[in-house]
Structure 1
Amino acid sequence: MSPLTLGVLYGVVTIVVMCSGMPIAFALGVVATGFMYFFMPESSLDTITQNVYEEIASITLLSIPLFILKGAAIGKSPAGKDLYSAIHAWLNKVPGGLGIANVFACALFAAMAGSSPATCSAIGSAGIPEMRRRGYSPGFAAGIIAAGGTLGILLPPSITMILYAVAAEQSLGRLFLAGIGPGVLLVLLFAGYAVYRARKEYRLAHAVYSAGGAKSAYLDDEHFTLAQKVEMLPRVLPFLILLIGVMVALYGGLATPSETAGLGALLALVLIAVVYRIYKPREIAPFLSSTIKESGMLLLIIGMSLLYSYVMSYLHISQSAAQWVVDLHLSKWLLLAVILGMVIVLGFFLPPVSIILMTAPIILPPLKAAGFDLIWFGIVMTVVMEMGLIHPPVGLNLFVIKNIAPDIALGDVIKGTIPFLALMFLAVLLLCMFPGIATLLPDLLMGAK
């Protein structure tokens, strides 16, 4: 059977098994094992355990459970609410300040937790009720949190970037640095839209009130004294110190990514013990339990995805697919557009982890041959996968928002995210036009490649 026929069969069987409702990790493992049984030497079945172990026995992947523990310690403590409250107090006089506060809170929390769902849950549980209490429309309130949460896979430390670094064999340090510029760009775009939308809703509320209608909470004047603002800072500063400390350790050459993850997890546990008096075993148990569950699930997906990719490579499916793409002789930018379009479609059904590990063997060789910087592409791909987190049918953040704000209709949540999808698309265009947004910082700090 030709590699092309095998590839089509491989893809069809994968889709059928996934549509059966089987968990992603098991679906990939079943498909890979089945094709090993029918199309590879019988002895290959004896190497399944060894292959999976060797793939996940990586010092880089070791950082994933440690970063998850760091995120769990912060996400399941009152840190998110305190962070949001402090930023809200300092920005409340800025037009659309409450929306901007939520964007900034999501960005800072994402940089500490490294998880999109954790960011949505921690900031959204405080931010959405507050925005609605202040008159913000439900869709706008939900959309800004859902979009802000996506920053968790772009701003370092990002678990998604760790996996891309492994799959693409690129420097994790350079990749983390490359995510900072685009992350700041998205924060500014989201904050700008928050100001525009808040002013629009304010004018509408004012017009309704002037015409004799009900007075919206938008028109209420909330005031924080300087003493109240300063009082909120001590609970936020330790976590900013944690963020800065981790970044200095990583980029100052004081620690490897795995050592930095361990340092971050340890510091996070120390800080919640000092700041929130959370140190008893029964209080820490939920953090450890959450870390074990999420790490186990993620590492199982990684192991099965890499086995799946190994089978693709052994059967020459990935090589043939990559060669087929090259043989199309597409222009450089058309090739990029086709590949990103494929990533968008996969984002309808799959999480970023699976997309990276399943597509890397196919898409990276043609992109490298076309002259694209794989660090830059990793950032662009991450932004595109961010879009997948907030568009249906499987946008994970949509369901996180629905869970923390069940009275907001799913349709309103989706409508609220559409402007942010457009802003992410704009960010991708800007990255293509000005690649230095991603590459300048790693080149300055680590030297040009």
Structure 2
Amino acid sequence: MDPLLLGALVAVATILVLFSGISVAIGLLIVSAGFLLAFDGFRSLELMPEILFGKLDNFALLSIPMFIIMGASIASTRAGADLYEALERWLTRVPGGLVVSNLGACALFAAMSGSSPATCAAIGKMGIPEMRKRGYPDGVAAGSIAAGGTLGILIPPSVTMIVYGISTETSIGRLFLAGVIPGLMLMGLFMAWSLYSTWRSGNASVLSAGNYSWAEKFEILPRVLPFMLIILGVLYAMYGGIATPSETAAVGALLCLLIAVIIYRLWSPKLLWTVLRDSTRESVMILFIIAAAGVFSYMLSSLFITQAIAEWIGTLSVNRWILMAAINVFLLIAGFFLPPVAVILMAAPILLPIITTAGFDPIWFAVVLTINMEIGLISPPVGLNLYVINGIAPDISLKTILTGSLPFVACMFVAIVILCLFPELATWLPDVVMGEAR
């Protein structure tokens, strides 16, 4: 059978299996085993266990559970509430300081925890009622928190970037640095829209929240600064050549647990067990998807589907930006139904030779792909962040939350366009810190 036609059959089968509600990892294994058995015989199945476990034989994968423990230990405390309160106290005199502080708290907490749903829950529980009480539109209050929570997969340290780096054999350090400036740019676009929307609604008079003394401003800092110092320390150790990403992640996880115990008095063995249990569960889920995606990639390569697609793309006489637009549409649709990790693991190995052949930088593409995946987190039908916000503010309808999120989706599209016009926004910092890639 023609490999391109076979590839189309694989795509249809994969979509049908995943839409059945089965877990992503199991679905990928079923599809892989079925096509290998049908088109390559029983002999190819003998390699599946070796590929499955061999995909996990990577030292860099150790950083994933460590960063997840970092996030879980932070999410299990009042760190989110303290971070929100600290920014509110310091930005209260700034016009629109409340919405700015909410978005800033989302960005920082998402970067520390790496979890969009946890960020929405932690910051939204305090931020949404406070913004509504002060007259902010429901759409701005809910949409800003839902969008702010997505920043965690872009601003380092990011588990999504680690997965992309492992699946494409790209430097994780460069990927982390590449997300810094685009992440700040995207946060700035979110803030600009929120302030404009509030001003347009005629609520400019409520933009200032209140007055706090200098003593009250400094009082909250000891609870917040240690976590931020850990993040800065992790990044410094990584880029200063002191340790590898896996080693810095392990130290960061230990320090976050110690701070959670010392500052937030997380003494209870039951609470500590919950942190470790949830971290283990999420880590196993991600690692299982990585292993299954490795088998899926092997199947595509063994049946010459990957090579045929790359060759077919190479023969197309289309502008490379049209090609990039088509890739982004594909990723956007996939992100509507699948989590970012699954999309990256399935698509990145196929797309990497295509984008490099077309002359695109894989580091730059990682940032564009990540922002594209952020759109899926606040877009139906999956749109996990939308449902988290609806859960913590049930009196705000899902329609209002979705309507309030749409402008932030537009901000993400604008960010992708800006990155296409100025790719140096993603590549400049990695080149300056780590030298130009060869």
TM-score for both structures, normalised by structure 1 = 0.94
Matched residue SS, 1:283: helix
- Give the 3-state SS of the residue equivalent to 2:185 in structure 1: helix
Distance in 1 (alpha carbons) for counterparts of 2:52 and 2:271: 34
Deviations 1:401-439 (A, max 9, x none): 122222211111110111111111111111111111111
- CA distance, structure 1, for counterparts of residue 402 and residue 72 of structure 2: 27
How much has 1:227 moved relative to structure 2? 1.5
Q: Secondary structure at the match of 1:27?
A: helix
Which amino acid counterpart does residue 72 of structure 2 have in structure 1?
Answer: A
Q: Which moved more, 1:16-25 or 1:414-423?
A: 16-25
Out of 262-271 and 279-288, give the one that drifted further.
279-288
Instruction: Give the whole-Å Cα distance in 2 for the aligned partners of 1:56 and 1:284.
Output: 27
What pairs up with 1:353-392 in 2 under 5 angstroms? 353-392=341-380
Give me the CA root mean square deviation. 1.5
CA contact (8 A) 1:52 1:304 kept: yes
Comparing 338-347 with 271-280, which one deviates more in the overlay?
A: 271-280
CA apart distance, 1:23: 1.7
Report the identity percentage.
51
- The CA deviation at 1:275 is 0.8
Cα shift at 1:358: 1.0
* Greater mean deviation of Cα atoms: 83-92 or 13-22: 13-22
Q: Which amino acid aligns with 1:174?
A: R
Q: Displacement, 1:237?
A: 1.2
Aligned to 2:332: 344
Structure-2 change in CA distance of 1:233 and 1:320 (3 Å) = same
The whole-number CA distance in structure 2 between the counterparts of 1:220 and 1:337 is: 41
Q: Give, in whole Å, the separation in 2 of the partners of 1:196 and 1:277.
A: 41
For residues 198-347 of structure 1, the aligned pairs below 5 Å read 198-201=198-201, 203-204=202-203, 218=206, 222-347=210-335
2:209 and 2:229 mapped to 1: Cα distance?
Answer: 33
Q: Distance in 2 between matches of 1:313 and 1:283?
A: 45
Structure 2 length-normalised TM: 0.97
Q: Is the 8 A contact 1:76 1:122 kept in 2?
A: no
- Whether the aligned pair in 2 keeps the contact of 1:25 and 1:300 (CA below 8 Å) is yes
> Using the alignment, how far apart are the partners of 2:27 and 2:97 within structure 1?
45
For residue 30 of structure 1, what is the amino acid of its counterpart? I
Q: Which runs of 4+ in 1 moved over 6 A?
A: none
Secondary structure of 2:21 counterpart: coil
Displacement of 1:121 in angstroms is 1.8
The DSSP-based 3-state class of the residue aligned with 1:277 is coil
User: Displacement of 1:279 after TM fit?
Assistant: 3.0
Between the aligned partners of 1:205 and 1:428, the Cα distance in structure 2 is 30
Contact kept in structure 1, 2:93 and 2:208, CA below 8 Å: no
Residue 438 (structure 2) pairs with residue 446 (structure 1): no
Q: Secondary structure at the match of 2:60?
A: coil
Q: Which moved more, 1:412-421 or 1:291-300?
A: 291-300
Is 2:74 aligned against 1:86?
no
Deviation at 1:55, TM superposition (A): 0.7
Question: Is the partner of 1:337 in helix, strand or coil?
Answer: helix
Who is 2:52 aligned against? Answer: 52
CA contact (8 A) 2:96 2:207 kept: no
Change (3 A) 1:343 1:174: same
Shift of residue 162, structure 1, vs aligned partner:
0.6
SS in 1 for 2:381: coil
Cα deviation per residue 1:209-248 (whole Å; 9 max; x = unaligned)?
A: xxxxxxxxx3886222222111111111111111111111
Distance in 2 between residues matched to 1:4 and 1:424, nearest whole Å: 32
Number of residues paired by the alignment?
A: 437
Residue 138 of structure 2 corresponds to 138
Secondary structure of the 2:22 match is coil
Structure 1 residue 204: Cα displacement: 4.9
Of 15-24 and 99-108, the range deviating more from structure 2: 15-24
- Secondary structure of 2:341's counterpart equals helix
Give how far 1:177 is off.
0.4
Q: Deviations over 1:139-181 (max 9, x none)?
A: 2111001111111100111111011111221111011001001
1:321-365 alpha-carbon deviations (Å, 9 max, x no partner): 121122112212111111111111111211111111111232111
Quote the residue 1:74 is aligned against.
74
Q: Secondary structure at the match of 1:161?
A: helix
Cα distance in 2 between the residues matched to 1:26 and 1:299: 12
2:107 touches 2:152 (CA, 8 Å); kept in 1?
yes
The alpha carbon displacement at 1:288 in A equals 0.6
Cα distance between partner residues in 2 of 1:76 and 1:149: 17
Equivalents in 1 of 2:207, 2:80: separation in Å?
27
Structure-2 separation of matches of 1:120 and 1:220 = 23
